[in-house]
Amino acid sequence: MFQVKLKNLREQRGLSQAGLAHRLGVGQSAVGNWESGRCLPSTAMSQKIASFFNVSVDYLFGISQVKDPAKPKSIRVPVLGDVAAGIPIEAVTDIVDYEEIDAALAASGEFFGLRIKGSSMEPRMREGDVVIVRKQDAAETGDTVVVLVNGDSATVKKIKYGPDGITLIPSNPTFDPLFYSAQEVESLPVRVLGRVVELRAKY
């Protein structure tokens, strides 16, 4: 059902498979695979497709005949217990919970939650708290970010950019800042996964 709906919607827009792929930011083969039924898009991509065609996800999958998308007040995002190197966020299977975010915020980008580990960001962020993160690979000095360093699990720190590299700054004064030279940023690597936009304290 999905492949038929997708093809019909695409053709109604006068788009080729390549044209739709460009609009969605995927390869043409992905659209071809979806329309042939070889595979289905991820949940996030299904929402993106439905939004592009201004239809509901349920309509897209033939669950409902109601074409107009509902306007939810909130969106659920997965909370990850851990993020390791080499695994795209959307492919991480260590989902420990879900958090709801405002639909208006959700419309501004892609988001995930991350459970805080350790005490380096105390007193503001404590172990077990959840941060809501906007996926992005760049940040500005002063932003609190999720960073992946040298294949280790993701860490939450405040970032400071300098002429010679970057410094990851903990909130807890008993922890030392971590400096990485420009060469280390490239070679380790040090990679920004996203910017923290909300903190959900757990008691």
Amino acid at 155: T
Q: Count the Cβ atoms, other than its own, within 10 Å of residue 88.
A: 9
SS3 for 99? Answer: strand
Pick the catalytic residue from 51, 67, 71, 120. 120
Q: What is the CA radius of gyration of the chain?
A: 20
DSSP letters, 109-176, are S-EEEEE--SSTTTTTS-TT-EEEEEE-S---TT-EEEEEETTSPPEEEEEEEETTEEEEE-SSTTS-
Is 120 a known active-site residue?
yes
Pick the catalytic residue from 108, 157, 171, 187. 157
SS3 for 61? Answer: coil
Q: Count the Cβ atoms, other than its own, within 10 Å of residue 60.
A: 22
d(Cα 71, Cα 162) in Å, to the nearest integer? 43
Active site residues: 120, 157
